[in-house]
Structure 1
Amino acid sequence: MLIQGSCHCGNIRYELDWTPNPVEIPARACSCSFCVKHGGVWTSCPTGLLTVLYGDSRRVNKYHFGTKTADFHVCATCGVAPVVTSEIDGKIYAVVSVNAMDNVDSSMLKRGIISFDGEDVDVRLQRRARGWIANVRIHSAA
């Protein structure tokens, strides 16, 4: 299944080739303060291929906080963060916002809340390496 998503103005877009086709898509609402304030609900397909395209990379801000192990790709024009990446041992892993999906029927989403409180950095990075999208490509048109 090819899932497409974008920020509100379309400057940050993504295509996630979810393989094999999902019966349902896990939608995890993170309980950290940033995600709570921004309505962050994320998903990943460890066997998928994610392509991220910036229309204008100068209008993409990367925000990180706390452990500084994840970058929220925030559009400077509309303020939406459709993608989060984490570099682990020189490799980029990612999750995508289900709220930024353009072509997925909401009935496919299996929503839940998740908390990472108390998780140390090593455990966090190991979890991401296992569960986040491992095949990530980021391109800029300008």
Structure 2
Amino acid sequence: MLVQGGCHCGNISFELTWEPDPSEIPARACDCSFCTKHHGVWTSNPAGTLSVKVEDESLLSRYFFGTRTAQFHVCARCGVVPLVTSTVDEHVYAVVNVNAFNSVAPSLLRPVPVSFDGESIELRLARRKRNWIADVEFVATGR
């Protein structure tokens, strides 16, 4: 299954290849203040591949907070946060926001609330390495 998504204005877009086709897509609704305010509901397929395009880098804002171990990719034009990356052992991992999907049937999404309060940095990075998308590519658009 090819999942396409991105921010509202199209400056940040992504394609997530999800193999095999999922019978459901986990949708983790983080309860931290940033995700709550931005409606961040995250998913990942560790066996998937993610290709990210940014049309205008000057309109890409990167935001860190809390443990500063995750980078939220925010479109400075429309304010949408379509993905988050984390570098673990010099490798980039990612999750994507299901609210940024373009054409996935809502019936495929399985929302579940999550809280990472109290999680140590070591456990957090190990979880990301295990559960986040490991094949992440940022594609130059030529602009």
Same fold (TM over 0.5): yes
Q: Which amino acid aligns with 2:78?
A: C
Distance 2:62 2:87 in 1: 13
Q: Which residue of 1 aligns with 2:93?
A: 93
> In 2, are the aligned partners of 1:30 and 1:40 still within 8 Å (CA)?
yes
Query: Which residue number corresponds to residue 125 of structure 1?
Result: 125
Residue 31 of structure 1 and its aligned partner are, at CA, apart by: 0.6
Matches within 5 A, 1:1-142: 1-141=1-141, 142=143
Amino acid in the other structure paired with 2:29: A
Structure 2, unaligned runs of 5 or more: none
Structure 1: where are the runs of 5+ without partners? none
TM value normalised by structure 2? 0.98
Which letter does structure 1 place at the counterpart of 2:76?
A
Shift in Å, 1:139: 1.9
Alignment partners' CA distance in 1, 2:64 and 2:19:
29
CA shift at 1:57, angstroms? 1.1
Percent identity of equivalent pairs: 57
Give the structure-1-normalised TM-score.
0.98
Name the amino acid aligned to 1:10. G
Secondary structure (helix, strand or coil) at the match of 2:87 reads strand
Q: What secondary structure is seen at the aligned counterpart in 2 of 1:95? A: strand
Q: Which amino acid aligns with 1:28?
A: R
Calculate the aligned-residue CA RMSD, in Å.
Answer: 0.6
Please list every run of at least 4 consecutive aligned residues from structure 1 whose deviation after the TM superposition is greater than 6 angstroms: none
SS at match of 2:46: coil
Q: Secondary structure of 1:58's match? A: helix
Aligned length: 142
By how many angstroms is 1:140 displaced? 3.0
